[in-house]
Chains A and B, each alone.
Chain A
Amino acid sequence: MKAARITADGLYRAALGGAAALVFVVVALIVFEAARGAGLSIRTFGFGFLTSTAWDPVSEKFGALPYIYGTVVSSALALILAVPLGIGSAVYLAEIAPRRVGAVVSFVIELLAAIPSIVYGVWGFFVLAPWLRTAIEPWLISHLGFLPLFRGYPFGIGMLNAAIVLSIMVLPTIVSISREVLLATPRSLREAALALGATPAEAIGVALDAARPGILGAVILALGRALGETMAVTMVIGNTNRISASLLDPAATMASIIANEFTEATTPLYISSLIEIALVLFAITIVVNGAARVLVYWATGGRRTAAALA
């Protein structure tokens, strides 16, 4: 009996360990395969690949800079739009709204996460784009056109459209995780704050402070989705490899260039360059995630203990 139990325990442990190890193996294989596929491009272009703005399949000159720019800027803009909105709704749902309202609204917000990205793309293309083109962008051009951010032609599709679509796509991640984290902070924190004479708003501030690591985690997850989103962005970003300061101009991202060109890429160097883009995207994701983790650690160092003591 005892022997059997030990074996079962051992099996259980081995299975769990194997499952955990498998994740590493998969990631390692992805990196290895991508690096192998990108070999030809790396040997041909070297570091110039990261700084070149050329993307010419005819003469086989490839550079990733416009796509790196497009990915980073569209994701950053999406977070600028989504983070205040997302944390705001999470605070309302967790702290202010009646319990039942909070549950219903957060259910609806989580539904947003289940919508396939192609549907967001179609919406961005057929609903958001005409609205941006006829109403929002002409207004931006005439009122804020003195800024380089809002110069150019109101195409309707472009960086702004992509950022708005992305921000809606990452919103459910931010809202639902932030709400859960806020709900998990001890009630005693708010009660203590109120007992010390804090206003209700200040008490929420205390709870937010305690929830900060979790909320930052939510933002990191959202950023990951924004960096890698492919289909919706491809449909609404306009797909040009020109770097422009204006948010109204078309752009392209690393994921969108792969989605656009991989199927019809025929020459080895062309395919290899697209794989190198994937490798660069992978590296950027790792760097961004790492940086965000450092940020969380730095922003919350010691506070966890304070929250635990409270």
Chain B
Amino acid sequence: MNIRRKTLYLTALVVATAGFLLGALGPAVQASPSTTLTGAGATFPYPIYSKWFDMYHQKTGIEINYQSIGSGGGIQQVKAGTVDFGASDAALSDARLKEMPRRVLHFPTVAGAVVMAYNLPSVKQPLHLTSDVIAGIYMGQITTWNDKRVAAANPGVALPAAPILPVHRSDGSGTTNIFTTYLSAVSGPWKELVGANTSVSWPVGIGGKGNEGVSGLVRQTQGSIGYIELAYAKQNRLPVAHVRNRSGSFVEPTLASTTAAAEGASSFLAKDVRTPIVNSPAPTAYPICGLTFLLVYQDQKDPGKGHALASFIDWAIHDGQDVAASLDYARLPEAVVKVNEGTLRKLTVAGKRLLADR
């Protein structure tokens, strides 16, 4: 009994000493490598974010945990204040921003394109599509491949008389948001009847879950067409359509033509970084593109975390951009990096600016 009690005292003493030592060390450690940030949100940028977090951890020792639970969940968690940052493929609307307890800033990190993958074995050259044709197909007005509106965009191509099977995402996704934002921008009737969102009420077609579900259906079904992320189409070597952009040329979806779309929209982004970059006016831009965002409270509560977060974003929009292409994400154009630099300067902790001017 006595021995046991002694051991107990000893253990308590050790614990107390350790706690005291840790407590004493605490303040000095705060902003240093042991800082851990947590984030949650979009799944689309998850591959590059996890690469960035890994690289940044090796560089600075700052650890960033990220849960790719979807943009909706990320926004909820930012609102609830359970994460240090959120990530979303869709910018927050004015109404959603107002619901937030404090001011939230948007940082675009990379751009992505949504491509039209199709299954027409008899058509060898890349299919050409216009905004009218894409909207017509997804509204059920164009139902066969040899429709004269499709043929007009593909002179000299023998299009089959097969029915068109439009495939869409069944799950809510940033990809659907980009695609429907594009259709709403180019087609009045689409905007009126369907609109833009992470999931919409589709007039026609069948739904596949995820990029893999849509591309699986497209690959299996002759005469089908579906929209998927550029990275996914590239990695799976699916035939993708060239889409006519605002200045009238048919553009192949590539990382360069995606970056060009963001570049072309940069004057709007400078005014409001949430402006969609679909149907960009740049002559070399691919028209169905979007940015993905980090969502951060303008006024940070914890100086250590705030500083770590600001320096991470600063790193990601500069050095981090160099690894984007290797993971099939389109890097930010210089003009958008400038916009981000301006936003970074707005970050504060207890009213004081977090980052010094460069």
Chain A residues engaging chain B, CB cutoff 8 angstroms: 54-59, 125-126, 129-130, 133, 153, 155-158, 234-235, 238-241, 250, 252, 256, 259-267, 271
Contacts and interface: CB of A to CB of B under 8 A. Distances in A.
B72 A133 contact: no
B201 A56 contact: yes
Contacts of A241: 201
11 contacts: A58-B195, A129-B220, A234-B170, A238-B170, A240-B205, A261-B172, A263-B171, A264-B70, A264-B171, A266-B75, A266-B96
Given A57-B200, A240-B202, A260 B221 contact: no
Interface of B: 43, 69-73, 75, 90, 96, 163, 165, 170-174, 194-202, 205-209, 213, 216-217, 220-221
7 closest A-B pairs (Cβ-Cβ)?
A264-B172, A263-B70, A239-B207, A239-B170, A58-B195, A56-B201, A264-B198
Contacts of A234: 170, 209
Max chain B Cβ within 10 angstroms of own Cβ: one of A57, A59, A240, A264 = A264
A308 B43 CA distance: 60
B38 to A, nearest CB: 18
Nearest to B204: A240
Max chain A Cβ within 10 angstroms of own Cβ: one of B165, B202, B207, B213 = B207
Q: Do most interface residues of chain B lie in helix, strand or loop, or is the interface mixed?
A: loop
B170 A260 contact: yes
Contact of B220 (A58, A59, A156, A260): A156
B195 A238 contact: no
Given A58-B201, A59-B195, A129-B220, A263 B207 contact: no
Q: Do most interface residues of chain A lie in helix, strand or loop, or is the interface mixed?
A: loop
Given A57-B199, A156-B221, A260 B216 contact: no
Nearest to B184: A58
Given A125-B213, A156-B220, A266-B96, A250 B206 contact: yes
Contacts of B165: 153, 155
B199 A264 contact: yes
Contact of A58 (B70, B197, B208): B197
Contacts of B201: 54-58, 241
A238 B198 contact: no
B199 A261 contact: yes
B216 A265 contact: no
Contacts of A271: 72
Given A58-B197, A156-B221, 9 more contacts: A56-B200, A57-B200, A133-B220, A153-B163, A153-B165, A239-B206, A239-B209, A263-B172, A264-B173
Contacts of B205: 240
Contact of A250 (B43, B72, B200, B207): B207
A11 to B, nearest CB: 25
B197 A238 contact: no
Given A155-B165, A235-B209, A235-B213, A264 B202 contact: no
Given A263-B70, A264-B72, A58 B213 contact: no
Contacts of A266: 71-72, 75, 90, 96, 198
A138 to B, nearest CB: 13
A129 B90 CA distance: 33
Nearest to A251: B206
Contact of A155 (B194, B202, B221): B221
B145 to A, nearest CB: 15
A193 to B, nearest CB: 52
Contacts of A153: 163, 165
Contacts of A55: 201
Nearest to A134: B220
Contact of A260 (B73, B96, B171, B202): B171
Contacts of A126: 216, 220
B169 to A, nearest CB: 9
Contacts of A133: 220-221
A250 B205 CA distance: 9
B189 to A, nearest CB: 14
Contacts of A125: 213, 216
A265 B96 CA distance: 13
A262 B171 CA distance: 8
B66 to A, nearest CB: 15
Contacts of A130: 220
A121 to B, nearest CB: 9
Given A133-B220, A264-B71, A238 B206 contact: yes
A129 B206 CA distance: 14
Contacts of A240: 202, 205-207
A260 B172 contact: yes
Contacts of A262: 72, 172
B300 to A, nearest CB: 24
A238 B201 CA distance: 14
